[in-house]
Amino acid sequence: YLVARCPKADGLRHFRVDRIDGVMLTAATFEYPEDFDLSEYVSRMWGIYSGEPTRVKVRFLDEMNVVDRLHAEVSGRPSAQLYQVDEGTWELVDTVMGISEFRTWLRTFGSSAVVLEPEELRSQLIGSAERMREIYSRQPVLSGSGEEGRSDAGFGSTGVSEG
């Protein structure tokens, strides 16, 4: 990826180098802000997408390999603070840029991760979980069974026809 100033975006953008068709030298110039540090900028990003820095606080239950994953996946983030709350419970506090990618990452932990802050992220995950519950609570319609449109298609008392 290339981090560069983009006049259309009025700021920095990330460009996939393999998707750049060509370059052209122009007379246009750009000066980096004095306080800009690429290493620090990239260290706050969660994935390749940036955004406003957002403080997050997430509680993790030490189930399966959750804590091992946390240590492996956040150890390179200077702003990440991972600490044990009590036996079987850990908390991650971090400031991330790219909250949508962070949200996607959190979903990989399922019910082992609980967002404490920010409330907006917590609400988004609650909404997503409610939609999943609604979808999974419906009985599926089996495609090609000739019973499309029936909410119980293919699901009798056993779901298996005898004969």
Domain limits of the chain? 44-139
Structure tokens at 119: 């409330």
* CATH number of the 44-139 domain: 3.30.70
CA atoms of 51 and 67, how far apart (whole Å): 27
pLDDT score recorded for residue 163: 43
User: What does pLDDT average to over the chain?
Assistant: 81
DSSP string, 24-52: ---S------TT--HHHHHHHBSSS---S
Query: Cα dist. 89→2, 61, 74 in Å?
Result: 38, 5, 16
Query: Cα dist. 90→68, 83, 124 in Å?
Result: 11, 6, 22
Cβ atoms of 85 and 91 within 8 Å: the answer is yes
pLDDT tens profile 41-89 = 766 666 666 678 899 999 999 888 899 999 998 888 888 999 999 999 9
Across 135-163, average pLDDT: 57
The pTM score is 0.64
pLDDT tens profile 83-116 = 999 999 999 999 998 888 899 999 999 999 999 9
Across 11-19, average pLDDT: 77
Residue 145 gets the label, from left (phi > 0), alpha (psi -120 to 50) or beta, of alpha
pLDDT tens profile 16-47 = 788 888 888 888 887 777 888 777 776 666 66
